[in-house]
Structure 1
Amino acid sequence: MRNAAIFAASMLCATAVSAQVTVDVVYLRQEVEAPPVLSNLDPIPEDEGIAGAEVGLADNATTGRFMGQDWALEVVSVAPGGDFAAAAVQALGTSSLLIVDAPADALLTVADLPEAAGAILFNATAGDDRLRGTDCRANVLHALPSNAMRTDALAQFLVFRRWDETALVYGTHPDDIAYAEALRGSLEKFGLELSDEAEWAFDADMRRNASQEVPLFTQELRDHDILLIADEIHDFGRYIAYNTWEPRPVAGSEGLTAVAWAPVVEQWGAAQLQNRFEEHASRPMRPDDYGAWAAMRTIGEAVTRAGSAEAPALREYILSESFELAGFKGRPMSFRPWNGQLRQPIPLVTERAVVAMAPLEGFLHPTSELDTLGSDAPETTCTAFTE
């Protein structure tokens, strides 16, 4: 009997050793010089995104300790003007699993490298809709919600509140223009009216002049129920609220915002994630942190379920109907097989509270209500996942 027990124990040890999986992940970041803005109240943390990946790594390692997994994260950060492609080639030489923190064009440069053909690139920080559409790549999966997912969430709330007539003020930065375009698309998709729109091109110091300039500027807008702001670099939008000619709520980039994550998200176990993150980074979790965390946890879940750290096997499992990720948003999250986007609920928040969680009740879909947010299969212009 004793010999049988010893034999069984030795077989378990042998199985554990043979099942040992080493998972090397590279966080590849292209540093970008922040555009000048009027206010310095919102400094960008130096570890934004990276901290989210580190917390995700710790979560993976906790489970991996019992599964024979050995986790490692290397951070490669390229200074503005540096050779991002060369850094990517070097990173791909050490791992086929990259979490990429970079603007859309830089991400596409990496995706099109010959060395990236068999890799998985997790887009953690770029919300550009074109990355999920005409410029999609089969080796790129998107952990951060697209601009259209965020603006669709906001449009659903406007329909719910019957705020049918909208006006739009947008900035001149490329991110502002892209977000404004997503807003227009969502308003049309959900049957809302864009009564008027105007470009914000003031170069005056709104910290001193907002109470004079904003009423005059918004006086020209046609009648509307809510004023939408496209100011993704957070330059002027904060000065619009409470200074409009007509008393109207503000939403979009300011006021009521649709985001991947916010410190006010506390239900569905989210407070546990918030606490773990704050303990690690000594600051609240931001949307890009959540995108990086979700990317790392996707890798962790796939490695555990697929029993492999090889990119082709992981990609097949991640895009299958079997994959689910618990994202602390109240519903299991999964990836869309037509464009590689992570389906996920979108919190609609103010600075102090969660107002709603999209998709809202009543917005139905034949397979998943989460697919009412962003590009659905019949609407997609992405062909890379079907070729």
Structure 2
Amino acid sequence: MSNLLNRNIVTGRRKSLPIFLCAVAVAIMSSTFNSKPVFSQEAPTQNQNKSDSKQDGVIEIPIAYLSEKRDRLPPLSLLDFRPDDDGIAGAQLAVDDNNTTGRFLKQSFRVEESPATTRDELIKIATQKAEQGLGFFVVDVTPDTLLALSDALKDYNAVIFNAGATDDRLRQEDCRLNVKHTAPSRAMLTDALIQYLAWKRWRNLVLISGPQPNDQLFAASIRHSAKRFGLKILEDRTFKYEAGSRRADGGYEQVQQQIPSFTQDLPDYDVLIVADESKQFGDYFPYRTWIARPVAGTQGLYPTSWHPASELWGATQFQNRFQRKSGRVMRPLDYAAWMAVRSIGEAATRTNTGDPKTLIGYMLSDRFELAAFKGQKLTYRPWNAQLRQPLFVATDKIHVSVSPQPGFLHQVTELDTLGIDRPETKCTAFTNR
């Protein structure tokens, strides 16, 4: 196993060398022969992206990072409070990575952070930037704000990268042509977890979900994934609580008595699944259930796009660079923002342009691939613009496995066993692309 791991890491590093050499070669050829980009640009639109104009031969490619202030319930654990730079820190690291290669191609990237307190303010900021020619937006917003922002920018030469919202409807009936998703969908996350349970042959589940809307969406996704991979949900319950309350305020004794009582009459099961995206009760269940069984879902053993303890596929140096720059570990939102900005940089390297329409067309083609410390190339699904990627199945301290699991096959790529596959899509925005 160690030899295989070392071979994967070495292979991952070797793959990055040709990309660097290609960048140098393209730069030399461009300056020597004054060659044109391989991919021709389309005729300028009404607001042709001004970042594509060259000043002193340098293509300036600005990227906006937009986030909105949201009222969130405080988490149970003090360890779960979000850092102030969650997301933007990953985007800033990606800018550094883009500029490392970009300097050889006379490309310069920068990220502009624009937090907003309301949806209207965020849309106003984005519209102003689009009118000034900025064409790339990485966002961490609610699903409804994302749709409103997409509609506001639909007539501009601009594209939005969704780094924060996992809702499946954004990849289904509410998909938009100008939105790409680096955040995994909720279906991808639950498929990753259920695949691992199926591989372990832990087939009998109990589902405990919270009353919040996102809790119910996660629970619905668990039900779909369980049916998809042949697992049984023996019992499905809602754990009711008063939002924002803290049972621990009365002492651990109260929780220690309540959780066993709640789980005492459950049928014999293999794994208890909790659906608590709001982080209001799920952490109470591990080690407190009536019978000794694993807890998984949003707490316990959980699916995630990134884990701060990952050292696979050359990730150690990636983790170290992020920690040196930001002073903390990388979180999933940081990783999604990093992939969004790196997607822009990778496409710009290959096309030698900063025009959003050209770059997005390239990203959705079979020529695009993104190296992202996941052991294989990542690509966008052409039917809904969701970034394909392996997902970790992890605990708080360490990852346990990586999905797709062995034995889950697909006619195109095993990555499409996670989430919404082409035959299941309800997205029509890309049909006549």
Residues 1:90 and 2:90 are matched in the alignment: no
Among 262, 269, 293, the residue aligned to 2:314: 269
**Any stretches of 5+ residues in structure 1 without a counterpart?**
1-7
Residues 1:240 and 2:281 are matched in the alignment: no
Deviation per CA, 1:110-152: give whole Å up to 9, x if none: 1011555431100011111110111100110001111110100
Deviation at 1:81, TM superposition (A): 6.4
1:335–1:35 distance in 2 versus 1, CA, 3 Å = same
199-208 or 121-130, larger mean C-alpha shift: 199-208
8 Å contact kept, 1:132–1:341: yes
The residue type equivalent to 1:152 in the other structure is: D
8 Å contact kept, 2:184–2:386: yes
1:45–1:116 distance in 2 versus 1, CA, 3 Å = farther
Deviation at 1:31, TM superposition (A): 1.7
Residues 1:197 and 2:236 are matched in the alignment: yes
Q: Give the 3-state SS of the residue equivalent to 1:334 in structure 2.
A: coil
Q: Give the 3-state SS of the residue equivalent to 2:289 in structure 1.
A: coil
Q: Give the 3-state SS of the residue equivalent to 1:122 in structure 2.
A: strand
TM-score by length of 2: 0.84
8 Å contact kept, 2:362–2:368: yes
Residues 1:221 and 2:266 are matched in the alignment: yes
Q: Give the 3-state SS of the residue equivalent to 2:73 in structure 1.
A: coil
Residues 1:295 and 2:295 are matched in the alignment: no
The root-mean-square deviation of aligned C-alpha atoms, in Å, is 2.0
Within 2, Cα distance between the matches of 1:92 and 1:27? 13
The residue type equivalent to 1:363 in the other structure is: F
Residues 1:161 and 2:200 are matched in the alignment: yes
The residue type equivalent to 2:201 in the other structure is: R
Deviation at 1:59, TM superposition (A): 0.5
Within 2, Cα distance between the matches of 1:19 and 1:242? 62
Residues 1:75 and 2:113 are matched in the alignment: yes
2:275 maps to which residue? 230
Residues 1:206 and 2:240 are matched in the alignment: no
The residue type equivalent to 1:159 in the other structure is: A
Among 54, 59, 70, the residue aligned to 1:32: 70
Within 2, Cα distance between the matches of 1:262 and 1:65? 30
Write out aligned runs for 1:1-387 (5 A): 12=32, 20-80=58-118, 83-94=121-132, 95-114=134-153, 117-203=156-242, 205-207=246-248, 208=251, 209-387=254-432
8 Å contact kept, 1:265–1:347: no
Deviation at 1:317, TM superposition (A): 0.2
The residue type equivalent to 2:337 in the other structure is: A
Deviation at 1:222, TM superposition (A): 2.4
Deviation at 1:41, TM superposition (A): 3.1
196-205 or 27-36, larger mean C-alpha shift: 196-205
Deviation at 1:14, TM superposition (A): 6.9
1:308–1:221 distance in 2 versus 1, CA, 3 Å = same
TM-score by length of 1: 0.94
1:169–1:65 distance in 2 versus 1, CA, 3 Å = same
Q: Give the 3-state SS of the residue equivalent to 1:23 in structure 2.
A: strand
